[in-house]
Each structure stands twice: as structure tokens, then as C-alpha cells.
Structure 1
């Protein structure tokens, strides 16, 4: 899960991209980058850190141009300390292409090998995004004749990418001298939408991960990018679109609605906030069924993503709703922080339990989900330390039992507290008196109630069904071995060196010619 944005404007885009990345900061807090196109010249700046820390005035001045892309990175296994893997990525041929990617390729290692052995392309990092960029560049080269690139050739290249690449991917890129290209994988796993702004000089366009990034900078939301569809905006501001996949189908990641997306976003025609309210309705019904004789004095959310569900639970149960946890808004989202020890420490830094709301009460705590259980255990203990008489814990999402391979950092079964355990065993591990999980079918109904046109979801972390069809038990075993294998001494030293030099910045001025 990352946040991506691409803008084509009639004025400098650096500030528009920066503002959009701030609105997408919840999607990644590990690294940030912006690349702009000024005629035939690319300018790029990227580094580890949050948007407000990465970009200074001098960096923004070094990013001229009326088209560009940006990304905030959320690292999956192994890349948290690698500044070289911050995006966007750049390749100089054909034409010159910059690219930013949200998602995860399941066949990237095979593609990386093919790039070297067959396509004669060198991949410099272990990022699947760099592999994807080179696949796109190779397909663009095959699709073009002579020096000119037209929309038909662009769409032919994207069709070639769809045939070769597996997994989840939402893409924004710029081809030097020609325009902005954006596309979405044929399953529509990761979100992508289009917005526009009517000006006296003509229409300006934005493509972003979430609608909040479109509307937050004053653009008008137009629509979602369809699964398998490609959008090409040429240098004159003309938008071209075409379906480039053979059998596209919409299977949005349901965890976007649970946690990843902002509540004020709308994904694939579904307002996220409304889904979370419906999740609360269904969760309340299950609590009534499973705990009919358990006394609940007060319902409390874990701010912020579980607040809508908790409000509905309290209303449906006829119980008082209170805000017992105060959130420090200057600490990042604990789920997307790399490393279990960092997450555990950050819970106490992020939340404080106010004793006046807990003392002597039977407290029902509602959280959006339980993944590793570390955060939940700390929260339950905080409630007890604040004087709670008993603690009932409810998850607005079903138990996370299976690895996610499409861009969320849930890659090993051993890290998932619900894998191979009963609800009672999980309750004991997190220290709760009772535990209630949402049902998988109820979660899917919460989205379908709002948009019945969505018939399937990417919900593998809950139901173990991998919609791309290429994820086998052997594949899962392999990625688990890779994640849990001890690092070599040189790797540990390299990681330490990277951490010590996290303030290092990389800046590239790439001179390209379209002639």
C-alpha cells in the first residue's frame, strides 16, 4: 500500500503534487518522492521520511514543470531502510519514463530474471516497482515504430504489461515529451481515480490513489479508473482512455475500506465512511448474538479509523459512547510502521487512556482490525491500568488469518495472531475478557449494501482466496522463508549504515532529449 499521484497542469505542478501527497500521507510514511517534467527534462527528488520532512523550499524550487508524479511509500518486507527504493523510478529508454507504483507484483522475481536474460535490461534494486517500470519501457519500445509515440502505441504497451505482470498495481508515469500515463491492474485491486480542473487555459488533470487527494486540492472528482484501463493525457491536455486487459473484473482490496483509505474518500463508487458505519451495524448484531448476558457500560473506539463503527455499535446496543483514548496526532500509523518492537513502543506514544472514562466500568473497545495482536494487547492493558472493571474487545473486521501478497505487510502466518487459533485463544493472548470478530460475509455485505455492482473482493487476508490465481502454498512458503531468514552480517551492517544516514538526500536532474 502506497499513495500515488500524477498531475498535468498549465502551471507548475510541484505544489499541487506536494499538497496531494500530504493528503495521501496515511498511505505511506516511510519515504516520499516527486518527479516533474519540464519540456524534455525530468527533475526528481526523493528521500526517506514523511512529506513535510523530505521537501524543503530549495527542493521544491528544483522541481519545475507542468506535469509530474509523486509517491508516499509504505514498505513491504525488507525495504524499509532502503532509500534507493524510494519512488518514483526512472529509465532513460525508450524516450525516458518515470513511474510510481502502488501494489505488489507476485511474479516480480521471474520478471527480473527475464529482464536480464531476454530483454537485456538491468534492474538495480530489489523493488518490484523498478521491475514494472522496465517491463513497461520494454513494451513501449516494442509498440513504437520510428520516433513517434501515439495513444494507440501507449495502449498496446499497457496491454503487453497486463499479459506479463501478475499481482496488484496502480500506476502513474510520465513519458518524456509525450504525456502522463496511468493504469490499473485487470483485477482492480488497488484504487485509482481521475479528477479535473477547468481553467481559462484549458482542463488540468489529476490521477490519484484516493478521491480525497483530488478534491483536497480543489479539483473535481470525475470517476474511478476501471480495472485494466489505461489513461493517457498528452502534452496538450487531451485525455485518451482504453480498456487494455482481455478479461478485466473489479475485485477491490476490502482492507482499503477497513483501514487503509481515509474515511472521506470514495473508492469504486463506495464512500469509505459509509462502509465503516455499516461495519458497526453488523458488528453490533453479532455482539448481541454472542454476548447476550455480558454487561457493557460504555463503548469506546480506538481513534481514528474505528470511530464510525464504534458509534454505530453504541447506537445499536443502546450503550453510551465515549472517547476514552486520547490520540497523539504526531505519531504515525502503527500498523504501517516497520518492525514489531517499533509498533509496540509507538502504541503507548500514540494513545493515552483517560482514567475518568474507564474506572469501574465494563468497557467495550472497538478497533478496526486485529493483525499481529501487539497493539491490541497494549490497548487492553492500558484500559485495565486506567481502572476498567472488564474489557470486551471487538474487531470491526474478521480475523486476519492469511498472508497478504498484494501490497499489505502481512506476509507470514506466524505473525498473525488469529492464524491457527480460536477466538478464545486470541482473547487470552491480548488479555481481553471477551473477543468478538466481524464475520467475513458481513464485511462484504457492508460494501455491497452501498454498491451492489461489486460482486467480488480481494479479501485474501480474511478468506485465504487469492484472486490472481498464481499464489500457491509453495509461493507462500517461499516468501515466508525469505522474510524470516536471518540477515547476513553484511546485510545487518548495511541496514545499520542506512539507518545512521537516514537524513541523506538524493537529488537527480535528468536531461532527456526527444529528438
Structure 2
């Protein structure tokens, strides 16, 4: 993505199903779980550059011994910092008495982070809210072991105000207005309720308090707690949690918006946000890694029993398509194939745009995340060439000359590496003009590959959000090569609406497609469409979210996708550029063909999978109309 946006976080959860001594004996280390957690987090490093955190829980510790450990850090090097912190604890043991590193009972009793339940989180901060207090995991502490709660997740809730009000009604007073706090306290409240109900039950049976504590740990109904907690949640979420006595869970929203994958055998349970992390860390084949079903929670009880339980009625599955286009690593076999298909499906539009003139067209891509889709596009072009060669050679009525034969057989797409992202330049100069000049040098080019004034240059991007980098940098750089025409191709459709389930895209003014539609409305004297949409949004402020519709769709309705694309071309084209410019977008229909299992497309279509999404998009439009530069949800 040439425009940088922040996006979904990543989770990792490990439940060791054997005593630590088993891993010491089989794998030669009592730190087996920690080593695997580190691998899982590093293999998902793409999901968090702002911070990270880990937490572990030890099972069956003696009263008075610490059993919960947590450490968090900020910055792109957070994962390394965290595990250096942990490693120092064992380095101290190594320096004191190396034999103790093989004594699992001693380690568990004396060294933190030697637990059987391990949790990791990678974080992308949104809207400047980035501090150590914002880093997961979050901890809710209590002297009762089974009332302790640790959570970490990849989620955004659209109805935080509503959830906060519910907490107030329960008598709670949350310390801040954030979905992380409301989720923690909501689960915590029903965890307390379940504990109290079980305590009263066993107390009436005449059991002592010590006996009751053990009985609560055995009988805690995790599914019931999650069902009560999530009853009124509106958002996209994958949330991992651990209770202090050792029960663990990972829950996924009813529409399956956020991803969650798992594997388990008789030694270990592991859950992550991306499948390849599990495959790599544990050498597991693709088919053995499963996906948590929407509206379900994977639950690991303290006794090691594992089950997938439905805590909420699933709705139509709308898994995030941006995960497939851009966010998740392309090392997932399914995602790799889908990205190639996205590129292949663009070929008819591209060929039409270059007038089927492959001889005078060069194909490339920018940035590196578009590489796989580019491979698919090139395969599609080769398929076209083969068909052209066959039809030409087989169907000609007259005899073909040797020269024509040679030209036809040598016909192939001209594929080149044109643009290279340079070392990150620091735009430390404060003057806007100077800063813009620095930005224009973020990419460098390979000179001498384009025939000046003759060649068309086709460059594939995986998505275009704002178009700022294209206008300020990429198009100017490509124009220096002297092509007669530059065609920018997006493997994703036009991004028209804000996301409210995890991606850092929440302001209408951020989208060049929205800017294009507004520009067209004003140019054609249709400003009434803008004001009517605003009036409808204002009227809907006090309507229950379940009865709302996306009134912002009216902004785009008068125009075809091609009209929007043409206006985007005008907006992002620098004034002093010599080459003709054209922008081509993937169609929504082709997106669904390429990613048939991930039909969540609200940022393209405006069809939100939860009622809260319609409230968010309407609020985002009102904020834009009122000049408020703020996100449309908490």
C-alpha cells in the first residue's frame, strides 16, 4: 500500500497441556512455551509496530507465590525488548547455578514467566493513542485466584458509549472511555457474578472456603461468562483471555470480521491471528490449522479439556477482505492464491487501457506488498499472449511471413522492477515546501528501461486510500522516466467509507474516492445531495442503531465507478507532470470472486456487518461536514 495506514493487532495464545518437565525432557528446555511464543509474535510482527506485551499464568501455585507475570513495551522493537527482559531472568539463574535451568519445579516456583498459559499481543495504535498503558495484555486483579482476568485482543467496538452506560448501571465506574476498558470490565463483571453464584451454591452445601475455591475453578462456566459479556457488543473482535486459575479462551465476533486460527494436540494448544505463524513455529501442515468459527470461543479448561463453544448466534459471515488484500502476510497459501487472482482479474481492464499494445507497455508494481498480485497479473497477461498467438497463427487465411512469425512468437509482457523504496528519509525540515520535496524522494527508480515518449508504464498498487504518496512522490518519480502514459492499477476497489473494526481509517476526508465524489457533485451543481445526506445523518442521531441505514451512500450513487476513478486521476495527478495519467480500480464483483470466503467489504461498498457500522459512517460524514477532525467512534 503506497499510502501507509495502521491496522489490526495480532494475538498469540499458548496452553501447555503437559507439565513443564515434559518439555524439558522432550525438547531439552523448560522454556519451550516462551520460545514458541516469541516465534509466534515475531512471525506476526507485521501486525504491530507500536507496542507489544506478554502475560503468563502458572497453574497450581502455592498460596503467597506470584502466579501472574506481565511485561509490556513500546516501539517497533517491543517484541525483542520484552523477550530480552524475560531472558535476563534466566541468564541470572544460569550465572548462579546452571543446573537450576533444568529443574522445572524450582523454576516455576522462583522465576516469573515460567507458566503453562502464555499470551502475547502486538499492537498498532490508532489516532495518537499510544502509551504503555494502552498496550495489551490488560490485567484485572483480585485476591480470589478465579476472579483474576488477563485479556488481549484484536478488536474495536462501535458502541462504547452504550457499553459504558451499562457498566454505570451495574454500579461500576470505569477509569477511562475506551473499548479495551469496557471489554475488560464487562467480562470481569460476569466473571465475578459466576464466581459469586458458584460460591453461594457450594457454601449452601456446607463446603469450606478453601474447598469452595477449588470447586469454583473446576466448575466455572466460561461459555456462560462470554455469552453474558458479549450480548450487547457491536464490533469486530478476536479476544484472548486467561482467568487466574488457568482457564483460557479466544472468542471471535459473530460475523467473523477479525481472524483467528488454532491448532492443538496432546502437548499444546496454540491460537494466533494468522495461520502461517502456527505452521512455521510448529511445522504444522496447512490442513491441520483450523479457524475459530464466528460467534464461537475456543475454550481450554484448567484440566486441559479443549472445546469450541458457541457464545453468540452467528450472523452472515463478513470476514475482512483487507486481511486478504494487504494486512495478513502472503505466506498463507490461501491468501497467496487470492492475491494472485486479484491481479489476474485486472487484466481485461489493463489490456483495454493500453489498447492491447504489449510491445510498447512496461509492467511493474509498487510497493512490495503488491508483489503477489503483480505475479497474478503477469500470469494473466501471459495467458492473453498465448491465446493471441494461437488465434493468430491458427486462424490466418494467408501465409504468415517469417518476420511476422518471429514477432508473434517473441511477444511477451515487458516486466520490470521500476520503483524501489529507498532508505527511510527523515523529513526533519519544517517548511512545507521543503518537506514535500523530501517526501518526493522516498522512492528511487531504475533508469533506462522506459523508451521516452513511446512506452506506457503500468504500475500495480494493492490499494489507494488517500492518494497522497502517489501525488507527492510516486507519479513525479515515474514521470522522470519519460513514459507517454502512466496507469496506476489498484488490486482493491475504491475505498469509500471508514472502517470501525480495527483499521485506522475513520475520517471521510482521508479517502480520495470521497473527495472525488464531492468534487463531482459540486461541479455538476448537485450540492443538495450533500446537504440531504447530512440532514438524514443528523435525524438519525437519536434513532437506535438497529434502525439506521448508511446515508452516505447517496454521495456516490449519482456516479459510476469509472467516473469516480477518472476524477481521482485528476486529483492525484501533479500539475507539472508530462505523462498522461489513468487510475484503474478492481471491481467489487472481482474482489468477491478472488476472496469468496472473506466477503467483508464495508470500506468499499458501505455495507456494514453490524448496526454500529452505519452509525459510525454517518457520524464520520457529520464530522466532515462540521469540520471536526476526529474519529467517529471511541
| TM bucket normalised to smaller | 0.7 to 0.9
Q: TM-score scaled by structure 2?
A: 0.67
Mapped partners of 1:160, 1:368: distance in 2? 40
Among 134, 147, 150, the residue aligned to 1:95: 147
Judging changes above 3 Å, is the alpha-carbon distance between structure 1 residues 151 and 467 closer, same or farther for their aligned structure 2 residues? farther
Aligned to 1:413: 508
Distance 1:403 1:153, change over 3 A: same
Instruction: Tell me the equivalent position of 1:512.
Output: none
Matching of residue 14 in structure 1 with residue 34 in structure 2: yes
- CA apart distance, 1:122: 3.8
Structure with greater proportional strand content: 1
Superposition pairs for residues 58-457 of structure 1, below 5 Å? 58-60=85-87, 61=89, 63-79=113-129, 81-93=130-142, 95-115=147-167, 117-144=168-195, 145-146=198-199, 147=213, 148-150=216-218, 153-196=221-264, 198=265, 202-218=266-282, 220=284, 221-265=288-332, 271-292=334-355, 297-318=361-382, 319-327=413-421, 351-358=443-450, 360=452, 361-377=455-471, 378-421=473-516, 422-431=564-573, 433-448=581-596, 454=597, 457=599
C-alpha offsets along residues 180-238 of structure 1, whole Å, 9 cap, x if unaligned? 21110111000001023x5xxx4211110010111121153430000011111133433
Structure 1 gap ranges (5+) = 332-339, 449-453, 488-515
Q: Secondary structure at the match of 1:129?
A: helix
RMSD between aligned residues: 2.9
Work out whether residues 283 and 438 of structure 1, in 8 Å CA contact, stay in contact via their aligned partners in 2.
yes
Which digits, 9 at most, give the CA deviation of each residue in 1:419-472, with x for residues without a partner? Answer: 152211211222261111000111011112xxxxx4x72211000011112333
Q: Mean Cα displacement is larger for which, 247-256 or 170-179?
A: 247-256
Check conservation: 2:246, 2:301, Cα contact below 8 A.
yes
Cα displacement (A) at 1:478 = 5.7
* Aligned counterparts of 2:118 and 2:436: Cα–Cα separation in 1: 37
For residues 119-153 of structure 1, what are the alpha-carbon distances to aligned partners after superposition, in whole Å with 9 as ceiling and x for unaligned? 33343344312221211111222334124145771
Contact (CA 8 Å) 1:203, 1:237: kept in 2 or not?
Answer: no
The two structures have a TM-score, normalised by structure 1, of: 0.82
Structure of larger gyration radius: 2
**Distance apart, 1:388 and its partner CA:** 3.9
Decide whether the 8 Å contact of 1:89 with 1:133 is kept in 2. Answer: yes
Aligned CA distance change for structure 1 residues 205 and 99 (closer, same or farther; 3 Å): same
Aligned residue pair count: 462
Is 151-160 or 29-38 further displaced after alignment? 151-160
3-state SS of paired residue (2:152): strand
Question: Would you say the 8 A contact 1:301–1:310 is kept in 2?
Answer: yes
CA distance in 2, matches of 1:322, 1:486: 41
3-state secondary structure, aligned to 2:172: coil
More helix by share: 2
